[in-house]
């Protein structure tokens, strides 16, 4: 399953979705996780808030989960419609810590929201 993190340094979740310039993408399952890429989003030629949000949604569209600090209601609706579940975490939360916590949930009986995200990820892999 692909998981995204809104980050400025690749180590901490420290960005608001609408201002995030980089998403760090990981693959994770109950046994392992690994970093796959950093996806940069540029606003150099921004055409308003809708375009800014669309670019960010496109950058994480293939992720099942997106960890971030904040997200506005309109952006949250667009992310959710794209099939990505936004998860707010504390400012500066360690990405590796979040991955390990998620992995622990995957090893046991995952909560309903995580089971749903896993099903989405498995369906897209087929």
| pLDDT computed for residue 46 by the predictor | 57
The whole-model pTM stands at 0.91
How many structural domains are present in the chain?
1
What digits encode the pLDDT tens for the residues 27-57? 999 899 999 999 999 766 656 778 889 999 9
| pLDDT computed for residue 44 by the predictor | 62
In a domain? residue 121: no
In a domain? residue 124: no
Strand partners, 22: 40
Residues 43-69 as b/e (b if ≥16 CB within 10 A, e otherwise) read eeeeeeeeebbeebbebbeebbbbbbb
**Which tokens belong to 115?**
């089971």
> Which parts of the chain sit beneath pLDDT 50?
none
| Domain that residue 98 falls in | 2-116
In a domain? residue 123: no
31, 44, 64, 91, 102 from 68: Cα distances, Å: 24, 22, 13, 8, 14
Q: Residue 58: which CATH number? A: 3.30.420.130
């Amino acid at each position: 399953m692909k998981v995204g993190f809104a980050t400025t340094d690749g180590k901490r979740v420290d960005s608001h979705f609408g201002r995030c310039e980089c998403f760090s993408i990981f693959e994770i399952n109950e046994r392992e996780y690994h970093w796959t890429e950093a996806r940069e989003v540029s606003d150099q030629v921004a055409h308003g808030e809708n375009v800014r949000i669309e670019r960010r949604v496109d950058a994480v569209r293939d992720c099942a989960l997106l960890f971030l600090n904040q997200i506005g209601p309109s952006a949250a609706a667009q992310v959710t419609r794209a099939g990505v579940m936004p998860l707010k975490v504390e400012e500066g939360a360690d990405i590796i810590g979040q991955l390990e916590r998620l992995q622990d949930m995957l090893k046991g009986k995952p909560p309903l929201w995580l089971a749903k995200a896993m099903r989405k990820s498995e369906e897209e892999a087929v």
